[in-house]
């Protein structure tokens, strides 16, 4: 039997600006099974990041509901949603959300502390090394380039071996060699630990490595 780890039903997202109300997502239905790798593609402004934040429970839909790992997100408060995220979900977003006052290494060990586990410094070092940052362990985010910060965010997301990893343009700022290394790491996590991957990308070679590709167009999802 297959188990779906993410299920979205009739998701709508409407936002208000000064001038108008804008409906970004117009009735999204999708289901993602445990261990699947799914690429979300679409033109800039199509609503990919918006959809991802809803699926991850970082924002709430205007209508519709998301089941995440068997939890109906609309029935949970912020605290309960945060608990699911810290225990089972990894994120790599377009804004990297590193803690500015912590070194690269401490940013990577942080999810252990949030989860209430002792920090595994050796593993953090290995992960940073595997994204090519073994020589930048003690730099703060401000002392790292954009692509380096993104790689710290990836290492951090891998740290707890999440059940689901959401990544928004994980290779967007990276050179080709580093990008292929990161892609290798993503799929290693997927194969070894059965981590479900949900990847927003403009990179068609990355999308083609995924089990499925979902295209966001006119506020709806089209499956290829």
Ligand X SMILES: Nc1ncnc2c1ncn2[C@@H]1O[C@H](COP(=O)(O)OP(=O)(O)OP(=O)(O)O)[C@@H](O)[C@H]1O
Contacting residues toward Mg ion, per CB under 5 A: 49
- What, of Mg ion, ligand X, none, does residue 24 touch, CB below 5 to 8 Å by kind? ligand X
Q: Under the criterion CB under 6 A, does residue 49 sit at the interface with ligand X?
A: yes
CA distance 44 to 23: 16
How buried is 118 (Cβ within 10 angstroms: 0-12 exposed, 13-18 middle, 19+ buried)? exposed
Closer residue to ligand X in complex, CB, 44/118: 44
Which of 111, 109, 107 has its CA nearest to residue 96?
107
Name residues contacting ligand X, limited to 3-32 (CB under 6 A).
Answer: 15, 17, 22, 24
Nearest to 164 by CA among 90, 101, 97: 90
SS3 content of the chain, % helix, strand, coil (to 5): 40, 30, 35
156 binds, among ligand X, Mg ion, none (CB under 5 to 8 A by kind): none
**Residue placing its CB nearer to ligand X in the complex, 48 or 209:** 48
Binds ligand X by CB under 6 A, chosen from 30, 46, 92, 153:
46
Q: Cβ 169 to Mg ion, closest distance in Å?
A: 7
Nearer to Mg ion, 103 or 149 (CB): 149
In the list Mg ion, ligand X, none, the entry touching 99 (Cβ below 5 to 8 angstroms by class) is none
Q: Residue 106 or 168: which CB sits closer to Mg ion?
A: 168
Long-range contacts of 144-147 (CB under 8 A, 24+ apart): 144/104, 146/173, 147/173, 147/174, 147/175, 147/178
Closest distance of CB 39 from ligand X, Å: 13
Q: Could you say which of Mg ion, ligand X, none residue 182 binds, taking C-beta under 5 to 8 angstroms by partner kind?
A: none
In the list ligand X, Mg ion, none, the entry touching 103 (Cβ below 5 to 8 angstroms by class) is none
Instruction: Outline where DSSP puts E strands in the chain.
Output: 4-16, 21-33, 37-41, 63-68, 71-72, 89-92, 164-168, 196-200, 212-217, 220-223
> How much is the CA Rg of the chain, to the nearest whole Å?
17
Backbone angles phi, psi at 50, to 5 degrees: -60, -45
If one asks whether residue 50 binds ligand X (CB under 6 A), the answer comes out as yes
Determine which residue in the list 3, 18, 44, 208 makes contact with ligand X, applying CB under 6 A.
Answer: 44
Piece of 2-10, 44-52, 138-146, 189-197 that binds ligand X (CB under 6 A): 44-52
Binding residues vs ligand X (CB under 6 A):
15, 17, 22, 24, 42, 44-50
């Amino acid at each position: 039997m297959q188990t779906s780890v993410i299920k979205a039903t009739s998701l709508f997202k409407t936002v208000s600006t000064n001038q108008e109300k804008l409906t970004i997502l117009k009735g999204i239905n999708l289901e993602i099974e445990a261990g699947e790798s799914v690429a979300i593609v679409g033109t800039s402004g199509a609503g990919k990041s918006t959809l991802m934040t809803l699926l991850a429970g970082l924002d709430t839909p205007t209508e519709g509901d998301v089941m995440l790992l068997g939890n109906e997100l609309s029935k949970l408060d912020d605290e309960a949603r945060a608990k699911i995220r810290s225990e089972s979900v990894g994120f790599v977003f377009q804004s990297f959300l590193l803690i500015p006052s912590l070194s690269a290494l401490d940013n990577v060990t942080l999810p252990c502390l949030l989860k209430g586990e002792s920090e595994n410094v050796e593993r953090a070092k290995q992960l940073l090394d595997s994204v090519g940052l073994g020589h930048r362990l003690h730099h703060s985010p401000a002392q790292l380039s954009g692509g380096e910060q993104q790689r710290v965010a990836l290492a951090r997301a891998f740290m707890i071996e999440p059940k689901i990893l959401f990544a928004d343009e994980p290779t967007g700022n990276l050179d080709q060699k580093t990008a292929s290394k990161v892609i290798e790491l993503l799929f290693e996590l997927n194969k070894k630990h059965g981590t479900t991957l949900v990847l927003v990308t403009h990179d068609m070679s990355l999308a083609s490595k995924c089990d499925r590709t979902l295209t966001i167009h006119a506020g709806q999802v089209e499956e290829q």
